[in-house]
Chains A and B, each alone.
Chain A
């Protein structure tokens, strides 16, 4: 059975088709590694355990990134 956290070559090709871009065949393994490494933390995430991102619109102008 395929590991749900793995990015298969078939899934990569599906994503490329859906995005309408062209990536050279001999570079697919590299792109797969680049994307799979970046996706790994997201795929390991239980999205119910993390707070939602703050709304994009806020009316507290003093608030800065990283300040609580």
Chain B
């Protein structure tokens, strides 16, 4: 199998399977060999499920032989290791759960299995999706395929790294403050944080239940649409799950973006931005204009108070972890323990005020989205952080462009929009109205088709 086949899109793989030009078993064998070669350095996988993958691939091959037309049939995927997998250990990247084998699949895991995907394994996550692993941690951190000295972003770190390295075609991620979009941005791939309530979180380890979102990551916008299609929809097992009907996410990709109204909320999103990202963003805006979009600046004044989202996140994380962290603090990594314990220091009044600020941001964003169809911003303020900085105990929790869309719950897509002079990926963030994933996918796909950033490969 040649190198480019590892980067084939879901549509390309499906077409080749159906032409008998390639088989799921052949692809799975090749991917297992590639993972064995590359992962000792990348650490994208926590657990490799080779036997399961080959069994899934054989089942897909038989189904293809019967004329089964499911889009994800035989597509190789892996799950972030906070998604519960039946009979496969689920660690959460934590020593606390290092040997835990769940009895049930998360809803998303089950839905992708029922869609005919091939499960290659479980992917590295920051510890409980919140604490970067320092040297000596039981689970070494994943590395960025574009530059091994840089982090792949977090917390869906293995998902970003595995996609960029051509080890899987799709991966799950979770996003509480940017954990799908950050790794997508740092690794030069695509990540979609769906609308709050669109994708079930049942069977996904919680971090902060009013901010947590589950969603897909892939290498192209179209691949994300395919993966979302198979995971979206009401689930009574998630109390926040919406009954809103599931749209066709592929259909909007066929439409151009002439006349689409795009808003740029310049305040907040450009404070502290790297000049290379700002330049790439302005070029991307010109591309969107050239494609026929109407782009104008908009204002969401209360975003200046976004950082209070951490009060919500840390307080809810402490509430979730309280029993374990009080009884077994030694089983938590240093960074995570500190962050969760800080949640114990937030007063009830402060938590409530943070939720009131959140409501204000939601109201203002909803108002702006009556005037424009989609918002566009840079996904991150800087390219991928070097490990030397990220693992510095003083690094803290810097300002980020992603939490505003966890607070508002709006569907938000991150996709590549360039490279830094040092060869690290840069990224664009598109947000839409609630349950209008199709709109952000449409704009993202049009932009992607007009550029070549998604065709670049890391130097592996």
From B244, B304, B396, contact of A64 by CB (8 A):
B244
Whether B362 contacts A19 by the Cβ 8 Å rule is: no
Bound Cα distance A38, B345 (Å): 12
Chain B residues within an 8 Å CB radius of A31: 338, 341-342, 345
Assess whether B323 is interfacial by the CB under 8 Å rule: no
Chain B residues within an 8 Å CB radius of A44: 305
Whether B359 contacts A51 by the Cβ 8 Å rule is: yes
Chain A residues within an 8 Å CB radius of B102: none
Bound Cα distance A48, B109 (Å): 45
Most buried by B among A20, A42, A44, A51: A42
**Segment of B110-118, B290-298, B349-357, B419-427 in the binding face:** B349-357
Q: Hey, what's the 0/1 contact readout for B328-372 against A, CB within 8 Å counting as 1?
A: 010000100011011011100010111111011011011100000
Whether A50 contacts B357 by the Cβ 8 Å rule is: yes
Bound Cα distance A45, B306 (Å): 12
Assess whether B327 is interfacial by the CB under 8 Å rule: no
Whether A39 contacts B311 by the Cβ 8 Å rule is: yes
Residue of B nearest to A37 (CB): B307
From A38, A51, A53, A66, contact of B308 by CB (8 A):
A38
Residue of A nearest to B240 (CB): A65
Whether B408 contacts A53 by the Cβ 8 Å rule is: no
Minimum CB–CB distance from B254 to chain A (whole Å) comes to 27
The tally of CB-CB contacts under 8 A between chains A and B is 116
Assess whether B82 is interfacial by the CB under 8 Å rule: no
Assess whether B17 is interfacial by the CB under 8 Å rule: no
Interface of B is mostly: helix
Sample (17) of A-B pairs whose CB atoms are under 8 Å apart: A21-B344, A23-B338, A30-B393, A33-B396, A34-B310, A35-B345, A37-B310, A37-B397, A38-B310, A38-B314, A40-B308, A45-B356, A47-B356, A50-B357, A65-B434, A66-B195, A66-B365
Q: Which residues of B contact A (CB under 8 A)?
A: 195-197, 242-244, 304-311, 314, 326, 329, 334, 338-339, 341-342, 344-346, 350, 352-357, 359-360, 362-363, 365-367, 393-394, 396-397, 408-410, 433-435
Bound Cα distance A67, B433 (Å): 8
When A and B form their complex, which 7 residue pairs have the shortest distance between CB atoms, in order from nearest? A41-B305, A38-B310, A19-B344, A65-B409, A15-B345, A41-B308, A42-B353
Residue of A nearest to B354 (CB): A42
Whether A27 contacts B434 by the Cβ 8 Å rule is: no
Whether B434 contacts A67 by the Cβ 8 Å rule is: yes
Chain A residues within an 8 Å CB radius of B305: 41-42, 44-45
Bound Cα distance A50, B344 (Å): 25
